[in-house]
Amino acid sequence: MLDLERIVENVELLNQVEPNELNEPKYDEPSTKSEPETDSTNATEQAEIEKDTNSLEPRVDPSATEPLETSFNPELTILMPVSSNTMKKPEFSIMMDMWKFIHKQQQVYCVKEVKLLKTWSSLFGLRPVWVLKLKCIEYESIDEDLSSKSALLLQLNPIYKKIPVLVHNGKPISESVVILEYINQTWTQNPIMPQHSLEKARQQFWAKFNDEKLLPSIWSVFTKEGKEREEAMEELVENLKLAEEELQGKRFFRGDKIGVADLAFGWLANLMSVFEQVIGFKVIDGRFLLLSSWIQHFLEIPTIKDNWPSHHKLILKYQALYENFHPLK
């Protein structure tokens, strides 16, 4: 039976039940197995959707006292009851079915409508790649040539004219950290944000610190010379010390799982060694034991490991860039 039919049947059943009978389950328990669909989705897509849908039960917390907002599309937000105790069983079952039905429809729609504009080497472009893969979202990858930006990029990101740009159902979203948060809210499986607002804010803070302080300092070391480079190096080391302190007692910036801050710092796990090799000195050494083990743990995550651009290609790219900034005199 289609989910929609089951919802309708449950609503009809509910109408027939006397109020004092509501605690008695007078309806079929919703089956955990879905019956074959009649839409045009193929078997593989359907299996993936089933997997997502089944692993995505509404977040029901029996200890909570307030409704929890379950939002997976900005255009469609539904409220789930937080506790089966606060709702009678038939009502709860209907809500569960509705939630699953809507989510399934969205998965069918969403997985076909995601595009990502990026370049092969951009550390900003890698962030959405990682999170899309972590969440098993299919997407079309469009590689841009930034020396000759496409009309599509200029149209989708007219303000910054930069990659990455995520396009979901035809709507563009720019700025890598904004994209990460959008993906996280749209597809709720494998969350990359903690639930608690304070911890969430902390993740956002460190992602911003990475983009506004750490990255500019390594870039100055890469591009500057002489005294300016020495000053940039001091700043870089200070920034790395702050990141090292933040990792005290934690495997990742988020805790025992990776989060937005870890993805923002992700470049450090691979690109730092590229910079070190090209510039010719070591930055991540015995002073940064926690960062070193963060790098190891981060690199061990299969989705991260499997989606790095080629190290050799990165060396060639940054070697050429370095020569541009520091031509032989």
Ligand X SMILES: N[C@@H](CCC(=O)N[C@@H](CS)C(=O)NCC(=O)O)C(=O)O
Q: Does 162 bind ligand X (CB under 6 A)?
A: yes
Interacting residue with ligand X among 82, 117, 163, 269 (CB under 6 A): 163
Nearest distance from residue 211's CB to ligand X, in Å? 6
Interacting residue with ligand X among 4, 64, 76, 146 (CB under 6 A): 146
DSSP string, 55-122: H------TT--S-EEEEEETTEEEEEPS-TTSS-HHHHHHHHHHHHHHHHHHHHHHHTSEEEEE-SS-
Give the binding range for ligand X (CB under 6 A) out of 160-168, 183-191, 281-289, 305-313. 160-168
- Per-position x/- string for 171-190, each x denoting binding to ligand X as judged by CB under 6 A, each - no binding: ----xxx-------------
Please, are residues 153 and 117 in contact by the beta-carbon 8 Å criterion?
yes
Q: Does 209 bind ligand X (CB under 6 A)?
A: no
Q: Is the CB of 107 or the CB of 176 nearer to ligand X? A: 176
Give the binding range for ligand X (CB under 6 A) out of 37-45, 107-115, 155-163, 228-236. 155-163
Q: Does 203 bind ligand X (CB under 6 A)?
A: no
Q: Is the CB of 134 or the CB of 163 nearer to ligand X? A: 163
Interacting residue with ligand X among 27, 72, 124, 294 (CB under 6 A): 124
Q: Is the CB of 175 or the CB of 246 nearer to ligand X? A: 175
Q: Does 289 bind ligand X (CB under 6 A)?
A: no
> What is the torsional sign of CA 127, 128, 129, 131?
positive
Q: Does 122 bind ligand X (CB under 6 A)?
A: yes
Q: How far is 228 from 241, CA to CA, in rounded Å?
A: 20
In angstroms, what CA-CA distances link 96 with 55, 121, 170, 255?
13, 43, 29, 31
Give the binding range for ligand X (CB under 6 A) out of 27-35, 65-73, 159-167, 196-204. 159-167
Count of residues in contact with ligand X, rule CB under 6 A: 10
Please name the amino acid found at residue 41.
T
The per-residue b/e assignment along 244-268, b for 16 or more CB within 10 angstroms, e otherwise, is: bebbeeebbbbeeebbbbbbbbbbb
Q: Is the CB of 100 or the CB of 118 nearer to ligand X? A: 118
The neighbouring-strand residues paired with 174 are 165
Nearest distance from residue 239's CB to ligand X, in Å? 17
Q: How far is 325 from 222, CA to CA, in rounded Å?
A: 8
In this structure, the dihedral spanned by the alpha carbons of residues 127, 128, 129 and 135, taken in order and rounded to 10 degrees, is 120
Q: How far is 47 from 70, CA to CA, in rounded Å?
A: 23
**Which residues, including other chains, have CB under 8 Å from residue 244's CB and lie 6 or more apart?**
287, 288, 289, 290, 291
Q: Is the CB of 124 or the CB of 294 nearer to ligand X? A: 124
Q: Is the CB of 56 or the CB of 243 nearer to ligand X? A: 243
Q: Is the CB of 43 or the CB of 151 nearer to ligand X? A: 151
Q: Is the CB of 89 or the CB of 149 nearer to ligand X? A: 149
Q: How far is 65 from 220, CA to CA, in rounded Å?
A: 51
Q: Does 161 bind ligand X (CB under 6 A)?
A: yes
Please, are residues 116 and 91 in contact by the beta-carbon 8 Å criterion?
no
- Contact residues toward ligand X (CB under 6 A) are 122, 124, 146, 161-164, 175-177
